[in-house]
Amino acid sequence: MSELNLFGFDHSKRGYNLAYRALQETSPDIITLEMKLFDYDGEVYLSSLFDGDLRYLDWVEKYLRKNRRGGEFQAACVFARRNDLPLYFIDKTSIPPGKVIKYDLMKVKNPHHLFKFRLSSDEFFRGNNLFSRNVFMARTLDLLVCPKINIGHIGGSWHIEKDNPEKATPIQDLVKNFDKITPTVLS
């Protein structure tokens, strides 16, 4: 049975512990994030988590558990590294979903080259409304599905709430290929 667990967060709150616990409880085979490939934000917030040995993560995790707002993304990266799981950034970008899934960040030799560009907020939001981003992420998730797969997706709560500010169709109503879909708002 294919399963999709969608975890939604308020990015302005501390989400590290909640995200890590949710991933532990659901034991995903693949983790996806509401992050864009080739975006500078990934470099700033996440790239150090791909470097060094796992002992480095112990040190970083002590800080993240206490202090980091928006730590749900870091929790997903740490969990993926510790459990040797595929990790994909699947938010809307200029390359199609079929190419996005070629970038498993745990297998890319130097993921730093994937975080090159900085978009202004005007550039990011022009044509990237919540609905179009949800459609893109849903299509990408559908490409990753296969029998007996469990995918854990970490993203903003607006992407899975039916009563979101833009009244956009949530991701769980757009994916087509999963047997079981569980959306959960955690913060």
The candidate with the shortest Cα–Cα distance to 177, out of 131, 141, 135, is 141
- Residue 97: the pLDDT is 94
Beta strands in the chain (DSSP E): 3-9, 30-33, 87-89, 150-156, 180-185
Report pLDDT for 121.
47
**What's the pLDDT score for residue 186?**
93
pLDDT of residue 68: 62
Where along the chain do its domains lie? 3-185
Report CA torsion sign: 108, 109, 112, 117: negative
For residue 43, give Cα distances in angstroms to 25, 98, 153: 28, 23, 20
Q: What is the pLDDT of residue 144?
A: 96
Residue pLDDT tens, the chain, 187 long: 999 999 999 988 888 889 999 999 999 999 999 988 766 555 555 656 766 677 777 777 777 777 667 789 888 988 999 999 999 999 998 889 999 999 888 887 666 666 555 544 444 455 568 999 999 999 999 999 999 999 999 999 999 999 988 889 999 999 999 999 999 999 7
